[in-house]
Amino acid sequence: MKKEIYDTYKVFTPTQPAINTFIERDIKVNNHLVDSLRTPGKQVVIYGHSGCGKSTLIINKLNQVYENTIITRCMKGMTFESLILDAFDQLGRFYSVETKTNGFKIAPEINLSYNDIKASLKLVELNKSKTITQKEFVPPQLTPQRLARFFGESKSCWVLEDFHKIKGEEKTRASQIMKVFMDMSLEYSDLKLIAIGAVGTARQVVEYDNEMNNRVSEVFVPYMSDDEIESIIISGEKLLDLRFPEKISEKIVTYSCGLPSICHQLCLNMCTNRNIYQTQKETTYLKMGDFEKAIEKFADEKSDSFKADFDKAIKVPNKSLRNVPKAIIKAALKVNKDEFSFDDIKYHIEFKDIPSKEIESKLTQLCRTDRGELLIHDDNSNLYRFNNLFLKNWALMQFRKEKEDVLNIRNRTDQKVIDRLLEIIEKDITDEYDVYIEEL
Ligand SMILES: Nc1ncnc2c1ncn2[C@@H]1O[C@H](COP(=O)(O)OP(=O)(O)OP(=O)(O)O)[C@@H](O)[C@H]1O
Ligand SMILES: [Mg+2]
């Protein structure tokens, strides 16, 4: 049988949804999502920490259930109008100027109405300099109801990525679109809106009324289990005819901390380091040296983002007398356990007079993306943990550096920083980590 040849960049996809190496998620999550996609009138909210695999999961599942998908990527500052216009624009691929030529059997009057609106938008475009400057102009005919009809006729569903980035009044207005989709689903049973957000609860993604409760499915995507991460490696091995020795594969799993993108990036780095750009003619074995180079490259490329995340986490107003987030992170390190509780933090925190309420609220903040998601909270066990080993030990390194600065030790060069970080992480996952913690 002829071997199928895959491009390495299509197998290990650290910055894109995985298609070839897509690993089926936990059966409960999977069934919940697929049921919601299949149930007429059910709207869907997908939430979970950033990078846990929300987009990948929905894209793979939609491929199995829906013919057409329109994806709108929400960005900070986007308005209700810009969402409507983005969807309207993308729907253009189903609507033709010639009523007869559209392949989807779209009702002629709906097609006509689409093109009417489009024409009026064009007109505005022409006069833009004179009339509209600030807000996007939406023709009055283009109501959410009308938009829902355009979706319904073309049998497509609407995915709103990063919906949590829409804020304030715009969010309240945009959330109402979900209600419209719900109501209109009597007419069009395929009509569905899927909102995705990298946040801790579904309500942080979309604001919806209690009356909508049982018509919205809240699907939580957890971090990947070690077995799931390992499956990504195994899948990549098969597609590219590679072998990752068990020792290496274990290390990749440990370093990934449940984040599939780290796994993809490390595997990809190992491949490119060995000039493996496609499926191998003969089985190729990767070595520990490849792994070491891969991890160094990873840490080097990510060091700016570790720094940015850590800085976000410890940012306090200028006039603050003390830095509570910083004290919490230090305490979290001092606990020296994989997972820790609020009580652990309270016990180890250096300022004993901080009210419990404040510690609690700052802990919650540290789990948010605007605080670099330094910590993760597990709702079931009510325990916290560091997002990943890199961020954790970046923090540790900063605290140690602060101490050393006091002793007037010169700042290290970049390469040394990376070496140091990797050395500490290695200690963290093996032993001798206690000395570092004691010195805090
Ligand atoms: N089920 C899976 N099987 C294999 N790889 C996966 C899977 N899910 C996610 N990945 C990989 O993990 C990385 C992150 O996935 P994805 O972008 O889907 O996460 P996300 O939750 O949407 O992240 P964000 O919150 O940043 O939008 C990507 O590199 C993707 O290829
Ligand atoms: Mg995503």
Instruction: Kindly report, residue by residue over 234-292, the tens digit of the pLDDT.
Output: 999 999 999 999 999 999 999 999 999 999 999 999 999 999 999 999 999 999 999 99
pLDDT, position 100: 54
CATH of domain 24-220: 3.40.50.300
Say yes or no to pLDDT of 137 above 60.
yes
Q: Say what the pLDDT of residue 416 is.
A: 81
Q: What is the pLDDT of residue 331?
A: 96
Which residue from 263, 179, 181 is spatially nearest to 228, judged by alpha carbons? 263
For ligand 1, say whether the CB of 51 is within 6 Å of any of its atoms. yes
Handedness of CA 332, 333, 339, 344 (dihedral sign): negative
Check residue 112 and give its pLDDT.
87
**Beta carbon of 198 within 6 Å of any ligand 1 atom:** yes
319 C-alpha to ligand 2 centroid (Å): 36
The β-bridge partners of 235 are none
Tell whether domain 225-301 is in CATH 3.40.50: no
Q: How far is the CA of 223 from the centre of ligand 1 (A)?
A: 10
- Residue 298 tokens read as 């990873």
What are the b/e assignments for 32-46, b being 16+ CB within 10 Å?
bbeebbeeebbbbbb
Which structure tokens are listed for 416? 């040394």
pLDDT beyond 70 at 387? yes
Residue 201 CB partners (closer than 8 Å, separation 6+): 47
The candidate with the shortest Cα–Cα distance to 432, out of 356, 351, 336, 323, is 336
Ligand (nearest to CA of 57)? 1
Ligand 1, atom 8, lies closest to the CA of 53
82 lines ligand 1 (CB under 6 A): no
pLDDT tens figures, 154-178 = 999 999 999 999 988 999 899 999 9
Confidence (pLDDT) at 132: 47
Closest CA to 363 of 374, 351, 347: 374
Query: Does the Cβ of 261 fall within 6 Å of ligand 1?
Result: yes
Q: Is 20 in the pocket of ligand 1 (CB under 6 A)?
A: no
Q: What is the pLDDT of residue 130?
A: 54
By alpha-carbon position, which residue is closest to atom 9 of ligand 1? 53
Task: Write down the pLDDT at residue 431.
Answer: 76
Instruction: Give the model's pLDDT for residue 161.
Output: 96
Enumerate residues 6+ apart whose C-beta is below 8 A from 124. Answer: 131, 132, 137, 139
Q: 66: exposed, middle or buried (C-beta count within 10 Å: 0-12, 13-18, 19+)? A: middle
Pocket flag, ligand 1, residue 264 (CB < 6 Å)? yes
Helix (H, G, I), strand (E, B) or coil at 409: coil
- Average pLDDT value for residue range 40-62: 94
Does the pTM surpass 0.85? The reply is: yes
Please determine, for residue 420, whether its predicted confidence score (pLDDT) is greater than 90: no
Q: Taking residues 300-317, report their average pLDDT.
A: 94
- At residue 105, the pLDDT reads 73
Surrounding residues of ion ligand 2, Cβ less than 5 A: 55
pLDDT at 440 over 90: no
CA separation (Å) from 431 to 109, 420, 424?
71, 16, 10
- Cβ–ligand 1 distance for 56 under 6 Å, the answer yes
Give 82 Cα–ligand 1 centroid separation in angstroms: 26
pLDDT digits (tens, 9 = 90+) for 174-227: 999 999 999 999 999 989 999 999 888 888 888 888 888 889 999 999 999 999
Ligand nearest to the CA of 25: 1
Residue length, the chain?
Answer: 440
Contact 9, 236 (CB under 8 A): no
State the burial class of residue 59 (Cβ atoms within 10 Å of its Cβ: 0-12, 13-18, 19+).
Answer: middle
- Residue 406 in this model has a pLDDT that exceeds 70: no
- Say if ligand 1 is within 6 A of residue 23 CB: yes
Q: How many angstroms is it from 262 CA to the middle of ligand 1?
A: 10
Q: Say how many Å lie between the CA of residue 22 and the centre of ligand 1.
A: 9
Q: Is the CB of 49 under 6 A from ligand 1?
A: no
Cα of 52 to ligand 2 centre, how many Å?
Answer: 8
On average, the pLDDT of the chain sits at: 90
Task: Determine the pLDDT at residue 128.
Answer: 59
Residue 153: helix, strand or coil by DSSP?
A: helix
What's residue 200's pLDDT?
80
Q: Are 313 and 307 in contact (CB under 8 A)?
A: no
pLDDT in tens, 292-302: 999 999 999 99
Nearest by Cα to 73 from 176, 159, 198, 167:
159
The answer to whether the CB of 14 is under 6 A from ligand 1 is yes
For ligand 1, atom 25, name the residue with the nearest CA. 50
Mutate to test the pocket of ligand 1, among 47, 261, 388 (most ligand atoms within 8 A of CB): 261
CA 179–ligand 2 middle distance (angstroms): 23
Judge whether residue 407 has pLDDT over 90: no
Reduce the DSSP state of residue 398 to 3 states and report it: helix
Ligand number nearest to the C-alpha of 50: 1
Nearest atom in ligand 1 to 235's CA: 4
CB 159 within 8 A of CB 69: yes
User: Residue 33 pLDDT > 60, yes or no?
Assistant: yes
Residue that has been written with the tokens 């990510």 in this structure: 302
Question: Can you tell me which residue has the tokens 């990063």?
Answer: 162
The model's confidence at residue 340, banded by pLDDT at 50, 70 and 90, is very high
Mutation test of ligand 1: which of 21, 22, 26, 56 has the most ligand atoms closer than 8 Å to its C-beta? 56
pLDDT at 63 over 80: yes
pLDDT tens, position by position, 69-124 = 999 999 998 999 999 999 999 999 988 776 555 555 788 888 889 998 998 888 77
Is the minimum distance from the CB of 13 to ligand 1 under 6 angstroms? yes
The residue with tokens 């997002």 is 387
Q: Which two tokens stand for residue 77?
A: 């500052």
The CA distances from residue 407 to 167, 400, 426, in Å, are: 45, 11, 26
* Ligand 1 proximity of 256 Cβ (cutoff 6 Å): no
CA distance 19 to 13: 9
